[in-house]
Chains A and B, each alone.
Chain A
Amino acid sequence: SQQGEEDPQALSIQEGENATMNCSYKTSINNLQWYRQNSGRGLVHLILIRSNEREKHSGRLRVTLDTSKKSSSLLITASRAADTASYFCATLSRLGANNLFFGTGTRLTVIP
C-alpha cells in the first residue's frame, strides 16, 4: 500500500504546549500534504512540502520531510483549543490525476 500512516493515533496536550505528529509512507513522492479535519467537517488543506524541501513553515505550523526515511512530521507550536482536530498526511496516489492517498490520521485534543 502507498498509504501514509500517522503516528500517534491520538494525542492529548495542554493548551500552549507543542504538538508533533508523524507520517510515514512507502513509495517515492513528489510532494506530501497535510490536512486538518474538525469534527463533522470536511478536510482543509494546511501545507504542502515538495520532495526537494526539508522544512517548511506556515504560521504556527512547521513541517519537515525526510525522503531517505520516507517520513514527515507536523509540528504545531503554542497549541490552542481550536487546534483540536484530526490531522492527515496525504501523498500522490499511483492512480495519478492528482489523486491522493490519505493516512488514518492523528486525533489531537488540546485541553484548555
Chain B
Amino acid sequence: NAGVTQTPKFRVLKTGQSMTLLCAQDMNHEYMYWYRQDPGMGLRLIHYSVGEGTTAKGEVPDGYNVSRLKKQNFLLGLESAAPSQTSVYFCASSYVNEQFFGPGTRLTVL
C-alpha cells in the first residue's frame, strides 16, 4: 500500500496563477483533510471531506477550493495564487481517530 500520496512535491507559482494539488489514498478512508503548515504556527485545517461527494470548510478556507469526486482522491485548488499562500500543504486521511499524512507539497508564490 502506498498510503497517502501527494502531487506535486514542489511548485513555484506567480501571483494570480492557478493550480491544483492532488491527494490520493489507498486505504479506503472516508475522511480526508487538507492542511497548511507555516513556521511557528503548527498545522491549520483548510478544508475537509467526510466522504465521496462531500466537502466542508476548515479553519482557513479562503482562497482555496476542494473537490472529492472519487473516494480515494481529494483535490485542493488555488484559483488565483497569492504570496500569503506560500506554505507547505499536507493531505491526510483517516478512518476513525488516527490520521495518515502524505509527504507534503512545498508551494512558493512569487
Inter-chain contact A98/B96, CB cutoff 8 Å = yes
Inter-chain contact A42/B45, CB cutoff 8 Å = no
Give min CB distance, B82 to chain A, whole Å: 23
Inter-chain contact B98/A48, CB cutoff 8 Å = yes
Chain B interface size range:
20 to 34
Inter-chain contact B43/A42, CB cutoff 8 Å = no
Inter-chain contact A44/B33, CB cutoff 8 Å = no
Chain A interface size range:
20 to 34
Q: A104 with B98: in contact, given A41-B104, A43-B90, A98-B31 (CB under 8 Å)?
A: no
Interface residues of A in 46-60 (CB under 8 A from B): 48
A64 within 8 A of B: no
The contact string, 1 if C-beta is below 8 Å from chain A, for chain B 5-39, is: 00000000000000000000000000101000000
A contact residues vs B (CB 8 Å cutoff)? 3, 31, 33, 40-45, 48, 88, 93, 95, 97-100, 102-105
The 5 A-B residue pairs with the shortest CB-CB distance in the complex, in nearest-first order: A42-B101, A104-B42, A102-B43, A45-B98, A43-B101
